[in-house]
């Protein structure tokens, strides 16, 4: 098994936009290998505090090891960041100075064949779980979901134009024998997409993304989570969110936009009756993307977008 390793995307941009300060309290909802959290703790020294969540046991262990020098100033919970209310309660914290969410899959998860995230690992099992204690795997989805449901997942979560054909071919293959490896799934996708449409990158990428999102429920409740977490910021506190595909980015953008919207009453009314107030200032009117230098070093940064907002009430 390879050692847990992950290069945090746009580390400097994330930390700079969060405006870390000594004595601040910070929440990292997706700690991964702890790269971003390390910088938060380093720059909030000597008295800054951080608590974090992740669903991956191996990530939690690696992050805990990486952050050892800050012992006493951080705590990591095995939890979905969407359960932030519970975690904030356990910490006895109502509001924080900064929040970071990095929705990327770690290099370790992709590169470790046992995890089944990569279409490049042909013999890897179809797993794709962030939380390896969860009962739902990619193998279950591909072999037990109705064909129509698989097609919808591929179309909506993967934005795959050939979703119906891929789903039909999945059904044909599983009638012969159970689909159990990443290679089998990738081969089905490859033969489902016409050659002229396979020239712009790996044909399997979108479908693997779609199944991973389904397995981990990545978009379920995301809008409500972004809204709720943002409201957990102190006045002047900031939230920074890294997304890696258009569906996530759209949800974050819309949540921020709603929080930034002021009174929506008919302008002919003499006074506001809706009670809606502008809660945030969007710092990134356009998302920040990685530098060309970072893209050259870390290919996984190419599709990343960083959006940042500041609480103003």
CATH number at residue 212: 1.10.150.170
State the Cα–Cα distance between residues 214 and 128, nearest whole angstrom: 10
Same domain, 75 and 148: no
Among candidate residues 192, 216, 240, the one where a domain is terminated? 216
Where among 216, 231, 260 does a domain terminate? 216
78 found inside a domain: yes
**pLDDT tens digits for 24-72?**
999 999 999 999 999 999 999 999 999 999 999 999 999 999 999 999 9
Please give the tally of structural domains in the chain. Answer: 2
Report the predicted TM-score, pTM, of the whole model to 2 decimal places. 0.93
Residue 270, pLDDT above cutoff 90: no
CA distance 46 to 57: 28
Residues 221-233: what's their mean pLDDT? 98
- Mean pLDDT for the stretch of residues 243-268: 94
Check whether residue 66 and residue 50 sit in a common domain: yes
Residue 114 maps to a domain = no
Share of the chain above pLDDT 70, in %: 97
Mean pLDDT of 79-86: 98
Nearest to 65 by CA among 15, 7, 3, 124: 3
Asked, for residue 204, whether it belongs to a domain, the answer is yes
Q: Name the phi and psi angles at 135, rounded to 5.
A: -75, -25
Q: What CATH number should be reported for the domain holding residue 60?
A: 3.40.50.150
Domain that residue 86 falls in: 11-103+219-311
């Amino acid at each position: 098994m390879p050692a847990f390793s992950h290069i945090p995307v746009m580390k400097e941009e994330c930390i700079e936009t969060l405006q870390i300060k000594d004595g601040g309290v910070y929440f990292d909802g997706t700690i991964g290998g702890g790269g971003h959290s390390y910088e938060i703790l380093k720059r909030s020294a000597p008295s800054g505090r951080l608590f974090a969540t992740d669903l991956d046991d191996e990530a939690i262990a690696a992050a805990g090891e990486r952050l050892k020098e800050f012992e006493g100033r951080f705590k990591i919970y095995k939890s979905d960041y969407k359960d932030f209310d519970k975690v904030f309660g356990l910490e006895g914290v109502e509001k924080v100075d900064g929040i970071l969410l990095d929705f990327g899959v770690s290099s370790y998860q992709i590169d470790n064949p046992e995890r089944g995230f990569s279409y490049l690992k042909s013999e890897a099992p179809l797993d794709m779980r962030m939380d390896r204690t969860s009962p739902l795997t990619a193998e279950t989805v591909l072999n037990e979901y109705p064909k129509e449901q698989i097609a919808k997942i591929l179309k909506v979560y993967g934005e795959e134009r050939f979703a119906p054909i891929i789903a039909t071919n999945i059904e044909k293959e599983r009638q012969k024998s159970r689909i159990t490896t990443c290679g089998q799934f990738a081969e089905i996708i490859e033969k489902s997409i016409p050659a002229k449409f396979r020239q712009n990158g790996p044909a399997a990428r979108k479908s693997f993304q779609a199944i991973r999102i389904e397995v981990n429920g990545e978009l379920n409740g995301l809008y409500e989570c972004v809204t709720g977490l943002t409201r957990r910021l102190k006045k002047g506190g900031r939230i920074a969110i890294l997304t890696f595909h258009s569906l996530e980015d759209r949800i974050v953008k819309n949540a921020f936009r709603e929080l930034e919207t002021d009174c929506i009453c008919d302008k002919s009314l003499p006074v506001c009756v809706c009670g809606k107030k502008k809660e945030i200032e969007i710092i990134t009117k356009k998302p920040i993307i990685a530098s060309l230098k970072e893209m050259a070093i870390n290919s996984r940064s190419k599709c990343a977008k960083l959006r940042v907002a500041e609480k103003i009430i």
